Structure 1
Amino acid sequence: MTIKYDHPEFREALFHLSRELDMPDRVHAPIRNLVDCSLGRIFWNDWLRQDAQDAEWMPTPGDHEDPEWHRIDGWPERGDGATHRKWSRRAALWMQWNSVDAWHVCDWLITAVADGHPWLANVDANGHPKKLMKCGTLERLVHEATKGLRQRDLREIVLGPEDEIFVLDLGAGHTLVQLLSRSALRAEGMRMHHCIGRGSYDELLGDPDVGFYSVRNENGKPLATLEIRGGFIRQFRGPTNLEPTDAVKDLVASAIDAFEWKDWRDRPRSATDEDYGDEALAILRDLPPARRRPG
């Protein structure tokens, strides 16, 4: 499907997708155009296909037995601001359903720009990298992202006690380690094949409300990475941003109990509540959880 970049709602749609991606501006700015022509393009086309079927309501994707239905037209009966409400709602829904994959793609784009990957210079007539434009689905983007992250430099980094510290014995020889420095984040990212060490999290290292943790096996090999913000588990991912295994989840359960960490879906969310009436907020509260990953 050919995207119409001059569509009057296109920039509105990208704005709300960008807000749901929840990246600091200094991290988002270098990859903004890449996000727009990859995730943004697919996000837009996904909704064009949905509008061709039903522009007012849609069921939860993949739920074929008794799906939950979602209002997606922006409640035009409420008057001005329907376009804003529509794309805010659609971006929130899309990220609820696709956040794991979307963040995986962002990881790859951040790493590609930081490392100067050659494919960035191979562009089409509009200046968009051909590698991204050939991806017509989110699944294809994820495939390319996984390949790209696996090709990173795996040089070892020597760490000291000022870089990471033991936090908790998880049992069966496994431990939880807190990452305290940029070097620790960089080593974790290189060993786990995600972009936690590419600089996008450095500014959070001194924030007392933010913590980065690594689950290690008996040989010190990282099995999963966690980001905790304000006592909520914001991200919990395995190698190359895959879902942690059930065994690792069971190990981390003891840390969740010990530190009273809560699920990210239970955090207060007031940033966009003003966009919705009581009936819409009731729907938002019932959405499935967004699952995020280290970036």
Structure 2
Amino acid sequence: MSTADQGVSAMKYTDDEKIGLKVLLRELDAEPMRMVNRTVPELISESVGRLFVKWSRQVDRDIAAGNGAPLPCRDLGRFEDIMQRWLLRTDAFLGQYQYELVEIIDWLLLAGAEHHAWLLRVDDQGRPLKLMKCGTVEALYNESQKAMRGRHSPRKTLKDLTRADERHVVDLGAGYTVVELLTPDALDVESARMRHCIGHGAYDANLGHPGFHFYSIRDADGQPWATVATSPRLVDDVPTVVVRQFQGPRNSVPEPHIVELFNNALDDILPDEMPSTTSAPSARSVGRF
């Protein structure tokens, strides 16, 4: 184990950070995972949770050095203020690493369910060495991919998609185009390219229902710059299609010029009308994929 990784594994949490860790585990809904294996929440805490605290400390250092703006926080009483701050940090962390965390937690659940041998190789505090050697989310993600290799069907790539999966919608100008994503395979490929979670079946049920559309904004080389999702909504009692989510890579804020180009062509992109009734599932009230 490297010196850097030893430093990570030996880190101690402050009382404040312990609250943050509890907030993260709650947001990940870790406790019910004990039904798979009673240690899964601890595995998540020792891996994702530890790296969340490390990430949070870097946020504090950046703010202290003037390299980052403080995350917004309401002026509440002490405990409420602490909880609000950790909720905001958890949301930012999950937004940045959501794609990787889906894979990591799937791996930990499988390891717990199948009692993988590496769970028994632990340090002097009973923590699995395989997890403690990982000093970044990317390192954890790579471990998950090595472990899951061969267990899944090969994932589709852009080369595997056909005109049945994607449809050209409109040219935006400046070399950008809008492509509609029509199938689960198209959503999975977009998810892998953009490092967010529009794939993995999360939105498949909405495909083909009136008002639900998924678009990819791409440059002249076919590289995606933003993913857009629409959903049906009643506006003044009139069924209308609205933009529900508009996200850049890793659920980042899209570049302003991308947003402007898309908005300028909105009338050419969105359907002209909505049916008065629809069997579509309820829209998800989330701010990111």
TM-score (norm. length: structure 1): 0.52
Shift in CA distance, 22/174, structure 1 to aligned 2, threshold 3 Å: farther
Q: Name the CA distance, whole Å, in 2 between partners of 1:166 and 1:41.
A: 43
Given the two structures, how large is their TM-score scaled by the length of structure 2? 0.53
Q: Is the 8 A contact 1:110 1:195 kept in 2?
A: no
Deviations 1:24-60 (A, max 9, x none): x99xx9986654333323335677x79xxxxxxx797
- Alpha-carbon distance change, 257 to 104 in structure 1, aligned in 2, over 3 angstroms: same
Aligned partner of residue 198 in structure 1, secondary structure: coil
Matched residue, 1:16: 23
1:79 equivalent in structure 2: none
**Does the C-alpha gap of structure 1 residues 42 and 231 become closer, same or farther in structure 2, counting only changes over 3 Å?**
same
> After superposition, what is the alpha-carbon deviation per residue over 1:164-214, rounded to whole angstroms, capped at 9, x for unaligned?
333321224531112122121123345556654322332443666654322
Confirm whether residue 94 of structure 1 aligns to residue 95 of structure 2. no
> How much has 1:3 moved relative to structure 2?
5.8
Amino acid across the alignment from 1:198: H
- Rounded Cα–Cα distance in structure 2 between residues aligned with 1:234 and 1:189: 14
Q: Secondary structure at the match of 1:224?
A: strand
Distance 1:21 1:232, change over 3 A: farther
Q: Which residue does 1:231 correspond to in 2?
A: 243
* Structure 1 counterpart of 2:118: 122
The 5-angstrom pairing of residues 182-221 of structure 1 reads: 182-190=184-192, 196-205=198-207, 211-218=213-220, 221=222
Shift, 1:160, TM fit: 3.8
CA distance in 2: counterparts of 1:192 and 1:205, whole angstroms: 19
Of 42, 52, 64, which aligns to 1:43? 52
Separation of aligned partners in 2, 1:142 and 1:115? 19
Question: Partner of 2:63: helix, strand, or coil?
Answer: coil
Name the CA distance, whole Å, in 1 between partners of 2:208 and 2:73.
41
Give the match's secondary structure for 2:134: coil
Q: Which residue of 1 aligns with 2:66?
A: 64
Instruction: Give the SS at the match of 1:213.
Output: strand
- C-alpha distance in structure 1 between counterparts of 2:61 and 2:229, whole Å: 32
Aligned to 2:270: none
Q: Deviations over 1:56-106 (max 9, x none)?
A: xx7972552896597799624xxxxx3xx3553132331465454332431
Question: Structure 1 residue aligned with 2:137, among 141, 157, 164?
Answer: 141
Aligned residue for 1:287? none
Contact persistence 2:216–2:227 (CA under 8 A)? yes
SS at match of 2:50: helix
Take 1:62 and 1:135, find their aligned partners in 2: how far apart are those partners? 26
Gaps of 5+ in 2: 1-9, 231-241, 268-284
Q: Which has the larger radius of gyration?
A: 2
Distance 1:22-1:193 versus aligned 2 partners, 3 A rule:
same
Q: How does 1:247-258 map to 2 (within 5 A)?
A: 250-258=257-265
- 8 Å CA contact 1:168–1:255 kept in 2: the answer is no
Is 1:157 the counterpart of 2:160? The answer is yes
Determine helix, strand or coil for the equivalent of 2:248: strand
User: Deviation of residue 255 (structure 1)?
Assistant: 0.9
Kindly tell me the number of residue pairs found equivalent between the two proteins.
232
Check whether the contact 1:182–1:199 (CA below 8 A) recurs between aligned residues. Answer: yes
RMSD: 5.3
> Cα distance, 1:158 vs. partner?
3.8
